[in-house]
């Protein structure tokens, strides 16, 4: 277990040689490293230089303790090696680094490559899961995959056709493959799993196809189902029992997952999980958010539509819900709340609080007490017209009535647009600076509700949308946010949405990429640009930082434009239709002039 959490003192030793892998006590080091008080520093000697899950640790900080690359020398960064994935859809995944091997998952058809870091990324083996071709027809927003997770000698990831696979990390042989969903119900799987206490946690995508959302735990050894928690329907399906103590009164009551919907609409109500999960080993709780309700047109589904657009705290052993908080009851704008949750211990009002920080779709950064689910603060980090604030007494947004979408009526200047102020692209947090580095967008939209017709396996959206840049005309931003002072330390703007993740290091360098193909390094304290490199295709991936077998610090990023924002290029869409790709094409009409598609891994280091 020790090795699986990336806390070994022998970073390059083979995982198999470590004794007592099934110890159930979780090492506290990861927790101390990352769930730390905000001015703590993490000495790089405590960092094993690996990257075993997309968020790097259970607290999801995406912070690397490596400090060879600094604000002083970052301008000397050079390309070390590269690797072509042979796939041209949007590359959103984070590479993994385990011992001296890098693992990359591609978009559909979801190849898994193992690259030898001791030999400049020479190909060790390729695993091809052959997902069903037809699954391409139920992927709402390009054919992406957000990465894999390493645990106990195996690589775990999801394939687009709603299967989870375990692959032997040494040999590339398939250990098990489990069907978790059904494409004929519109289900697909695009998220990176999280492995907690021997359980592989996966959820379904398909909020635009009328799926019934769930999170599932599979036994990491066998792939057998351990538990499944639905996000709509009766309490017994949602795994709501005696331990369930939500903070706000509107989240208490029996079978709210049924009564907050008209008729049987909960059966096709959405609320999947395709983003991020965090885990607090001390509280033994996992945290994650549920996706939007379906269809988008809210008039079709009167009621609070629980438990869509909500956050859950659950016991990973049996899935039991401990608290839930529905931050967007009766969601109006596809504020599809699957964003990352960063677990921190912060001094708030003079007290050290165990919190989760979440830059949300609706434009607010929520800070919640992660023990109780109470909202401690919610401050805007982008331009917002849909709400006038979050009522901290009730936890509900103060919605602006005029912005509510209606059937047959065009409502204009809905800000933020459906992808929110921030979509799936994950932030990073540095305990050295106390800042959260948030990659996000600046988009508004016009929307008209239409009639909904549910046909299983086809889209269930019932809205025409047309997006465009928000105030200022730029479509992307990187915001460095101080969650204690509750304000931005600095903000930079980008022409295109910043659809890549960020990573921050102990050298106080922040890395991210742009959709027109620049990989950039920023000074974590000032936001000033230190270095940039032009890669082959636009970047929508997650940068990672690792220590190579030669002891040097490396930064790796997948380029390959696509995703919802880049579908206009990856899918070859026609920009004359403003409603194409759920309206995102209208905001990205100039992207085909700025970049072409093509998946490629780039790895950088100092000379």
Partner 1 sequence: MLGLCLGIACEREERNFQGIPPSASASMPPVRESELQPGPPTRSAPISGPYEENAYGVSQGKTLYNQYNCSGCHFQGGGGIGPPLMDADWIYGSRPENIFETIAEGRPNGMPAFGRKINADQIWQLVAYVRSMSGLLRKDVAPGRSDDMQVRPQEQSTPKARPVHSALPPASERQ
Which is nearest to 165 in space by CA: 185, 187, 193? Answer: 193
Report whether 192 contacts 157 (CB < 8 A).
yes
**How many Cα atoms occupy the beta-carbon half-sphere of 463 within 13 Å?**
31
Determine, following the binding rule CB under 8 A, whether residue 28 of this chain makes contact with partner 1: no
CB of 584 to partner 1, least distance (A): 8
* Rounded Cα gap, residues 306 and 230, in angstroms: 11
Please, which residues bridge with residue 440 across strands?
A: 477
**Cα–Cα distance, 487 to 594 (Å, whole number):** 33
Considering only 50, 61, 135, 479, the residue that binds partner 1 (CB under 8 A) is 135
Site for partner 1 in 277-316 (CB under 8 A): none
Toward partner 1, which CB reaches closer, 225 or 455? 455
Among 253, 402, 410, 472, binds partner 1 (CB under 8 A): 410
Which is closer to partner 1, CB of 277 or CB of 582?
582
Taking 3-state DSSP, the helix, strand and coil percentages for the chain, each rounded to the nearest 5, stand at 10, 35, 55
Catalytic residue status for 208: yes
Query: Given the complex with partner 1, which of 9 and 456 has the nearer CB atom?
Result: 456
**DSSP-based three-state secondary structure for 33:** helix
Check binding of 90 to partner 1 (CB under 8 A).
Answer: no
Whether 456 contacts 483, CB under 8 Å: no
CB of 182 to partner 1, least distance (A): 14
Exactly one of 107, 223, 431, 563 binds partner 1 (CB under 8 A); that residue is: 107
Q: Of residues 68, 284, 458, 596, which one binds partner 1 by CB under 8 A?
A: 458
C-alpha torsion 55→57→62→68, nearest 10: -130
Which of 342, 567, 569, 588 contacts partner 1 by CB under 8 A? 567
Which of the ranges 46-54, 262-270, 442-450, 485-493 carries the binding residues for partner 1, by CB under 8 A? 442-450
Active-site pick, 292, 297, 442, 586 = 292
402 interacts with partner 1 by CB under 8 A:
no
Instruction: Work out whether 181 is an interface residue with partner 1 (CB under 8 A).
Output: no
Name the strand (E) or helix (H) holding 389: strand 387-390
The helix or strand, by DSSP H or E, that contains position 113, with its residue range, turns out to be strand 112-116
Catalytic residue among 48, 67, 142, 334: 334
Structure-block tokens of residue 270: 């959405």
Specify whether the CB–CB gap between 78 and 607 falls below 8 A. yes
Among residues 231, 390, 252, 393, the alpha carbon closest in space to that of 305 is found at: 231
332 touches partner 1 (CB under 8 A): no
For partner 1, the binding residue among 52, 466, 475, 547 (CB under 8 A) is: 466
Quick check: 143 binds partner 1 (CB under 8 A)?
Answer: yes
Concerning whether 292 is annotated as a catalytic residue, the answer is: yes
CA distance linking residue 376 with residue 315, whole number of Å: 23
Instruction: Check binding of 87 to partner 1 (CB under 8 A).
Output: yes
- Interface segment toward partner 1; rule CB under 8 A; list 34-42, 46-54, 503-511, 566-574: 566-574
Nearer to partner 1, 130 or 352 (CB): 130
Task: Considering the complex, state which of residue 195 and residue 463 has its C-beta at the smaller distance from partner 1.
Answer: 463
Tell me the two tokens of residue 328: 């967007």
Assess 541 for contact with partner 1 (CB under 8 A): no
Q: Find the length of the chain.
A: 607
Q: Sign of the CA dihedral 373, 25, 191, 430?
A: positive
Q: Is 453 in the site for partner 1 (CB under 8 A)?
A: yes
Least distance (Å) between residue 109 CB and partner 1? 5
Select the residue interacting with partner 1 from 249, 350, 408, 551 (CB under 8 A).
408
**Residue 249: helix, strand or coil by DSSP?**
helix
Q: DSSP 3-state assignment of 108?
A: coil
137 near partner 1 (CB under 8 A): yes
Provide the minimum distance between the beta carbon of 110 and partner 1 in the complex, in angstroms, as a whole number: 9
**Which span (19-27, 57-65, 237-245, 568-576) binds partner 1, by CB under 8 A?**
568-576
Interface with partner 1, residue 128, by CB under 8 A? no
Phi–psi pair at 249, nearest 5 degrees:
-60, -35
Size of the site for partner 1 (CB under 8 A): 48
Query: Is residue 404 annotated as a catalytic residue, yes or no?
Result: no
549 neighbors 556 (Cβ within 8 angstroms): no
Taking residue 294's Cβ as centre, other Cβ atoms within 10 Å add up to 34
- Taking the complex as a whole, how short is the minimal distance between the CB of residue 454 and partner 1, in angstroms? 9
Q: Is there a contact between 119 and 27 (Cβ–Cβ < 8 Å)? A: no
- Which structure tokens are listed for 604? 């950088």
| Range in contact with partner 1 (rule: CB under 8 A) among 129-137, 428-436, 528-536, 541-549 | 129-137
| Residue 89 beta carbon to partner 1: minimum distance, rounded to whole angstroms | 6
Give yes or no for residue 158 binding partner 1 (CB under 8 A).
Answer: no
**Binding of partner 1 by 446 (CB under 8 A):** yes
Q: Which of 337, 382, 459, 513 binds partner 1 (CB under 8 A)?
A: 459
Q: How far is the CB of 408 from partner 1 (least distance, A)?
A: 7
Residue 582 makes contact with partner 1 by CB under 8 A = yes
**Torsion angle defined by CA atoms of residues 392, 491, 93 and 379, in that order, rounded to the nearest 10 degrees:** 0
Q: Report the alpha-carbon distance of residue 180 to residue 192 in Å, rounded.
A: 14
Interface segment toward partner 1; rule CB under 8 A; list 85-93, 350-358, 374-382, 550-558: 85-93
Nearer Cβ to partner 1 (371/575): 575
Q: Which of 208, 304, 362, 494 binds partner 1 (CB under 8 A)?
A: 208
Rounded to a whole number of angstroms, the distance between the first and last alpha carbons of the chain is: 36
How far apart CA 539 and CA 562 sit, in angstroms, is: 8
Q: Which stretch binds partner 1 (CB under 8 A): 43-51, 211-219, 241-249, 573-581?
A: 573-581
Contact (Cβ atoms closer than 8 angstroms) between residue 366 and residue 292: no
Residue (376 or 461) nearer to partner 1, CB: 461
Strands 63-64 and 503-505, how do they pair?
parallel
Q: Which residues pair with 179 in a beta bridge?
A: 163
**Residue ranges binding partner 1 (CB under 8 A):** 87-89, 107-109, 133-141, 143, 208, 408, 410, 446, 448, 450-451, 453, 455, 457-461, 464, 466, 567, 571-583, 585-586
Q: Active-site residue numbers? A: 208, 292, 334
């Amino acid at each position: 277990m020790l090795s699986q959490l990336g806390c070994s003192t022998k970073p390059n030793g083979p995982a198999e040689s470590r004794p007592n892998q099934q110890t159930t006590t979780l090492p506290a080091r990861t927790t101390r490293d990352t769930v730390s008080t905000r001015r703590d520093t993490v000495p790089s000697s405590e960092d094993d230089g690996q990257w075993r899950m997309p968020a790097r640790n259970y607290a999801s900080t995406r912070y690397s303790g490596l400090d060879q690359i600094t604000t002083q020398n970052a301008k000397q960064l050079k390309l070390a090696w590269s690797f072509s994935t042979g796939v041209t859809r949007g590359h959103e995944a984070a590479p993994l680094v385990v011992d001296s091997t890098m693992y990359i998952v591609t978009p559909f058809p979801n190849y898994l490559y193992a690259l030898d870091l001791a030999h400049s990324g020479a190909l060790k083996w390729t695993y091809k899961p052959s997902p069903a071709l037809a699954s391409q027809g139920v992927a709402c927003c390009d054919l992406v995959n957000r990465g894999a997770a390493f645990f106990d000698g195996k690589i775990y990831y999801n394939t687009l056709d709603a299967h989870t696979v375990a692959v032997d990390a040494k040999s590339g042989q398939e250990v098990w493959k489990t069907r978790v969903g059904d494409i004929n119900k519109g289900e697909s799987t695009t998220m990176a799993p999280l492995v907690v206490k021997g359980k592989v946690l996966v959820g379904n995508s398909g909020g635009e196809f009328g799926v019934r959302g769930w999170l599932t735990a599979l036994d990491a050894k066998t792939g057998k189902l351990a538990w499944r928690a639905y996000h709509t329907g009766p309490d017994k399906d949602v795994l709501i029992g005696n331990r369930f103590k939500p903070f706000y009164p509107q989240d208490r009551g029996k079978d709210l997952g049924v009564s907050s919907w008209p008729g049987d609409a909960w059966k096709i109500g959405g609320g999947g999980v395709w983003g991020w999960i965090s885990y607090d080993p001390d509280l033994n709780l996992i945290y994650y958010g549920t996706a939007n309700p379906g269809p988008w047109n809210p008039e079709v589904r009167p009621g609070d539509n629980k438990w869509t657009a909500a956050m859950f705290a659950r016991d990973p052993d049996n899935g039991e819900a401990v608290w839930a908080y529905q931050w967007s009851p009766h969601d109006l704008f596809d504020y599809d709340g699957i964003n990352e949750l960063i677990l921190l211990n912060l001094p708030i009002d003079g007290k050290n609080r165990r919190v989760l920080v979440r830059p949300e779709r609706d434009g607010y950064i929520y800070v919640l007490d992660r023990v109780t689910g109470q909202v401690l603060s919610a401050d805007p980090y982008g331009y917002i017209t849909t709400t006038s604030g979050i009522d901290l007494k009730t936890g509900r947004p103060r919605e602006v009535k005029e912005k509510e979408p209606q059937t047959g009526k065009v409502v204009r200047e809905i800000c933020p647009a459906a992808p929110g102020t921030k979509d799936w692209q994950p932030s990073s947090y540095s305990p050295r600076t106390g800042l959260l580095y948030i990659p996000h967008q600046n988009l508004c939209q016009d929307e008209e509700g239409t009639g909904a017709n549910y046909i299983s396996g086809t889209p269930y959206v019932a809205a025409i949308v047309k997006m465009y840049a928000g105030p200022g005309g730029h479509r992307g931003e990187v915001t460095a946010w101080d969650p204690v002072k509750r304000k931005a330390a600095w903000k930079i703007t980008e022409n295109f949405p910043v659809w890549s993740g960020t990573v921050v290091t102990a050298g106080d360098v922040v890395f991210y990429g742009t959709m027109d193909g620049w990989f950039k390094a920023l000074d974590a304290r000032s936001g000033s640009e230190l270095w940039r490199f032009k890669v082959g295709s636009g970047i929508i991936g997650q940068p990672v930082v690792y220590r190579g077998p030669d002891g040097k610090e490396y930064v790796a990023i997948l380029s390959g434009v696509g995703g919802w924002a880049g579908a206009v290029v990856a899918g070859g869409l026609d920009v004359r239709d403003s409603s194409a790709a759920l309206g995102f094409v209208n905001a990205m009409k100039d992207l085909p002039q700025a970049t072409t598609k093509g998946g490629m891994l780039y790895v950088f280091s100092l000379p």
